[in-house]
Chains A and B, each alone.
Chain A
Amino acid sequence: MASLADESIIAEFVAESREHLSVVEPDLLAMEDLGAKVSQEVINRVFRAIHSLKGGAGFFAFEALKRLSHAMEGVLMLVRDGKLQPTPEVMDSLFTGVDRLRAMLDDIQASEGVPIAKELAALEAILGGQGVKVGETVKGREKGTKRDFDLDAESVRSALKRGMNLFRAVAYLHRDIKDQGMAPLAFLNNALSVGTCLDAFIDIEAIADLEHCLEEDLPVTLLFATVLEPDLAALALKLPAEQVKALEVKALKESLKAKPGKVSEAPAPAPEPAPAPAEPEAAQAEPEAAAEGSPDERSEAKGPREGSKDTANETLRVRVDLLTNLMNLAGELVLGRNQLVRAINDYRNEIPGLGAILQNVNQVTTEMQEGIMQTRMQPIGTVFNRFPRIIRDMSRQLSKQIEVQIEGAEVELDKSIVEMLVDPLTHIIRNCADHAIESPAERKKAGKNAVGVIHLHAYHEGGQINIAVHDDGRGIDAKKVLAKAVSKGLVSKAQAGEMTEREIVNLVFAPGFSTAEQVSDISGRGVGMDVVRTNVEKLGGHVEVETEVGMGTTVRLRLPLTLAIIPSMIVGVGEHRFAIPQVNVVEFVWIKASEVAQRIEQVQGALVLRLRDQLLPLVRLADTLGIQRTFQDPETGEVKEDRRASIADRRALAGKPPQEAPEREGDRRKDWRSDYNIIVLRVGKNQYGVIVDELFDIEEIVVKPLSMFIQNTRCFSGATILGDGRVIMILDAGGVATVSQLHFTDLQAEELRRAEEERRKAALKASRRRSVILFEGAKGERFAVPQDHVLRLERIVRSRIEHIGDREYIEYRGEGLPLVRLDRHLEVRPLAQDLKELFLVIPKVPGQDATARPPAGILISEILDALDVEVELKKVEFKGPGLLGSAVVQDHLTLFLDPIDLLRSAGLVGGAA
């Protein structure tokens, strides 16, 4: 039997056969579903697959494999010819047969040991009942007679004279035209756009008769003239290269001389029109299958072309380790290129042409890398397609009726991602069938179709792949989930009150949330979903769940296209550099030191960034990672530890009146490091900001897996080597958020509260025109106070102001009235010293009688006007007590004051300061 030399051929056979079987399963399911209505095409496909497996098994003398596939082939033949209905029993025999075949292929040398007696007996019982001998050929056809091209010698001569090459192109009506999504007319129009069709004919010998014609894939043979070279001609005709053969012009000319008007094919070196594959002897018995070419032969022919629909079956087999190695080398090459570009960038101007060379190297490297990445892409269908079978078996066990719908099976992902998705997706889908989909009776009672639907949908979105698994089952009851989570201590009662429904439902992903027996009674989901999340996040993806009680549940996975190379932003914290994958980066926010106080605040003890109308939790990366912060002394250039304790300190500082620490504050603002570099990151639906010290370029980095010794840091998803050879860590946005204990729920509540307040204020503002008194402080500084806040305006003579300590008073109606200077409390200039006359704004204290003693007077230099304005107040740059905001009044920027608030902060009226 198989010698050592055959091993690689056998391995090849096994790999091919596995592919055949993976195609067979969905087709068998279709046969079962559609019964007698299933198209011949489907049955034929199954038949061919099993047939070629049988052929190989016979060739390599794997007897058990051959016997089983032979029997299956017999049953399939009966079904194809309508002599046997694909009843559940028949289909069962085929399904179990496929399982056995697969088991044998798993260890081909031990295939004789796989028990198949039961399966064989079942198949043979079916065959026996029909009285058909296995292997009997149902129909045959005579070998096609050769047909000549009909054409006039003149057109051939003229084509040759114009320097055209002549080709004999064979296009199969189904495979090359229909399966490529083309109409025959489109195919011909395309051909005629690149050359001339001198003659064409369809080999009708391949057709037996009307009854069986649709199973045949008829070859159309074209005599085609074009200026294109052979490989390009094939490409242009959208045909596999093997099917386009150049005709030797000399021979043609000879034949033209000999037989004007007829060009015989015989002298041309072109082979038979049908791509008659060198099939093993065993296949000779069924000529109709041989004539169509075994599927594997086709797959290789189609390999290098793009846009083919069923890529899984049309690939050239390459060892994965070879590809992985290539990919690593490409990665290294990219790094090498980066280093090279960096090293010689400075010489660009000195060496003429260097720029172009660099650009070229750059381009080629990038394209090569992309090309290699492409070779690792696999359609998600390779995972999806296993689910109909799993669900079929499960629904039988569970006595449920479940249909699997697949959409987007052609979406491609990196092979490693596809492989790593198998377990999480299987988990999710098993959960759907087991828990989410109700029994037919229950569904009917709920007014639903008895057949439950699991819909698998893969699609591209924003450079990522989304996979949605939707079921129309009972949905998840948020209340029950929450109760469980609280009882398990996963969330506190306080937290529970503030959680949105979505967050609650997503608790099913929380580690320790559930075990099988606990969840199946309360929800449709939850069995080990934390494992699903862990696996998906390991791939750099996210998973979340949406549900509606009674309507169904959707589990949505977001995944990167490829794992290996990702554009990332490089950031610096202290002496450290980190890479943040760009898919996680939403935007970059730079906050000037002077704005820090307004943009960054504290909510329930946590730092928050106000970004447009959103509140984002803020993380100082250095704190989360426990990195000593450093800064470079602007004068000495020395690297020092940053003693700035926290942002909260800075806030306190900035909030105080400026005169208390004017110089220190001024100094600090000169240091650019007082500005904040914030990167807004996305984690699932949530966003948060990360404060870093420095931002560098965006680089394409090659992801290297994380050493198991540092996986427990939870903040990193991998490591990479930068262009300068330095190793840096890749930040895991989700991990950083978790480690920093961000509470997105708290903020959402706060956001809602603020939005509500904003609305109230806006409503108030819109409802009121303001009557104000306009006055001047220092020269050119204008203020306004609402008239209803003012009790009286008084003119005073400056010399009458009395001083007690550093306080000022004036005698007013027989009593001392404290005076308030605006520049003591606000960031405004003092009044001019040389004024003889001043004015006082005496505020009205709410709830006080007009005759009561006023608390104080605010000193101003001039009263300008009393008027009605309709303004929208804007926030002012600096803060201070009593500042309502600013607006432009009479073409001047005017600060609007709340005098009572001002006096309160000066300690001159009661109430909270």
Chain B
Amino acid sequence: MATTNSTPGTLRIPSGGNLVASTVEERRKVAMEALATPCTEAVLDLSGAEVVDSLGITLILGLFKTCQQRKIGFRVEGANPDLMRVFKLFSLPKLFPIQER
């Protein structure tokens, strides 16, 4: 498992590299398994990701949606400036907090 549980209740999900067409399916599975652990907040760590494509965005939103349904918090950390720009333009910060790298 590539997830860690540093603070109690907070589930950190590292992006494990870029979130693109070729990786999203695998990352989705990892995230699914991670979310099997009970937690109060999920953090997606994008510090390992330089590129997030359309599918990557879809995955992030899916993650957010599931957190919403389970009533757990969700935020994104470590977005590089390019990603930040995309997220902002797509108004994602209005949905959940996003922290720039």
Interface SS, A side: mixed
Q: Is A21 an interface residue (CB 8 A)?
A: no
Beta-carbon contact of A213 and B62 below 8 Å: yes
Nearest Cβ on chain B to A147's Cβ, whole angstroms: 10
Instruction: State the CA gap A72–B86 with chains docked (Å).
Output: 40
Instruction: State the CA gap A863–B23 with chains docked (Å).
Output: 91
Nearest Cβ on chain B to A186's Cβ, whole angstroms: 10
Instruction: State the CA gap A39–B52 with chains docked (Å).
Output: 19
Q: Is B37 an interface residue (CB 8 A)?
A: no
- Count A/B pairs, Cβ under 8 Å: 90
A209 and B65 contact, Cβ closer than 8 Å, known pairs A200-B89, A201-B94: yes
Q: Is A365 an interface residue (CB 8 A)?
A: no
- In the complex, the chain A residue whose C-beta lies closest to that of B82 is A185
Q: CB < 8 Å: which of B63, B69, B92 contacts A202?
A: B92
| Interface flags, A181-199, vs B, CB<8A=1, else 0 | 0011100100000000101
Instruction: State the CA gap A137–B55 with chains docked (Å).
Output: 25
Beta-carbon contact of B62 and A207 below 8 Å: yes
| Interface flags, B54-90, vs A, CB<8A=1, else 0 | 1101110111111001000000000000100110011
Which residues between 814 and 855 of chain A lie within 8 Å of chain B, taking CB atoms? none
Q: Is B2 an interface residue (CB 8 A)?
A: no
A185 and B85 contact, Cβ closer than 8 Å, known pairs A202-B57, A216-B58: yes
Instruction: State the CA gap A141–B94 with chains docked (Å).
Output: 22
From B28, B54, B61, B90, residue with most partner A Cβ within 10 Å:
B54
A210 and B85 contact, Cβ closer than 8 Å, known pairs A202-B91, A202-B92: no
Number of residues from B at the complex interface, CB < 8 A: 31
Instruction: State the CA gap A185–B86 with chains docked (Å).
Output: 6
Q: CB < 8 Å: which of B25, B35, B58 contacts A39?
A: B25
Q: CB < 8 Å: which of B57, B66, B91, B95 contacts A173?
A: B57
Nearest Cβ on chain A to B78's Cβ, whole angstroms: 17
- In the complex, the chain A residue whose C-beta lies closest to that of B66 is A210
Q: Which residues of B contact A211 (CB under 8 A)?
A: 28, 32, 62, 66
- In the complex, the chain B residue whose C-beta lies closest to that of A205 is B65
Interface SS, B side: helix
From B25, B90, B95, residue with most partner A Cβ within 10 Å:
B90
Q: Which residues of A contact B51 (CB under 8 A)?
A: 183
Beta-carbon contact of B53 and A201 below 8 Å: no
| Interface flags, B16-43, vs A, CB<8A=1, else 0 | 0000010011001001100100000000
Q: Which residues of A contact B94 (CB under 8 A)?
A: 150, 201
Q: CB < 8 Å: which of A40, A174, A184, A204 contacts B61?
A: A204
Q: Which residues of B contact A201 (CB under 8 A)?
A: 90-91, 94
From B51, B58, B82, residue with most partner A Cβ within 10 Å:
B58
- In the complex, the chain A residue whose C-beta lies closest to that of B67 is A210
Instruction: State the CA gap A202–B60 with chains docked (Å).
Output: 12
Q: CB < 8 Å: which of B25, B65, B69, B92 contacts A40?
A: B25
Q: Is A409 an interface residue (CB 8 A)?
A: no
Beta-carbon contact of A183 and B65 below 8 Å: no
Q: CB < 8 Å: which of B53, B90, B95 contacts A200?
A: B90
Which residues between 1 and 56 of chain A lie within 8 Å of chain B, taking CB atoms? 39-40
Q: Is A153 an interface residue (CB 8 A)?
A: no
Beta-carbon contact of B65 and A178 below 8 Å: no
Q: Is A618 an interface residue (CB 8 A)?
A: no
Q: Is A220 an interface residue (CB 8 A)?
A: yes
Instruction: State the CA gap A349–B61 with chains docked (Å).
Output: 69
Q: Which residues of A contact B55 (CB under 8 A)?
A: 173-174, 178, 214
Instruction: State the CA gap A782–B64 with chains docked (Å).
Output: 98
- In the complex, the chain A residue whose C-beta lies closest to that of B89 is A188
Q: Which residues of A contact B24 (CB under 8 A)?
A: 214
Nearest Cβ on chain A to B25's Cβ, whole angstroms: 6
28 contacts between A and B (CB under 8 A): A173-B54, A173-B55, A174-B54, A177-B54, A178-B21, A183-B51, A183-B54, A184-B52, A185-B86, A188-B85, A199-B91, A201-B90, A201-B91, A202-B61, A202-B92, A207-B61, A210-B59, A210-B65, A210-B66, A213-B28, A213-B59, A213-B63, A214-B28, A214-B58, A214-B62, A218-B57, A218-B61, A220-B90
A173-B54, A210-B35, A216-B58 known, 7 other contacts, Cβ within 8 Å = A174-B55, A209-B66, A210-B28, A210-B63, A210-B65, A214-B24, A214-B58
Q: When A and B form their complex, which 3 residue pairs have the shortest distance between CB atoms, in order from nearest?
A: A213-B62, A173-B54, A178-B54
Interface residues of B (CB under 8 A from A): 21, 24-25, 28, 31-32, 35, 51-55, 57-59, 61-66, 69, 82, 85-86, 89-92, 94-95
Interface residues of A (CB under 8 A from B): 39-40, 150, 173-174, 177-178, 183-185, 188, 197, 199-202, 204, 207-214, 216, 218, 220
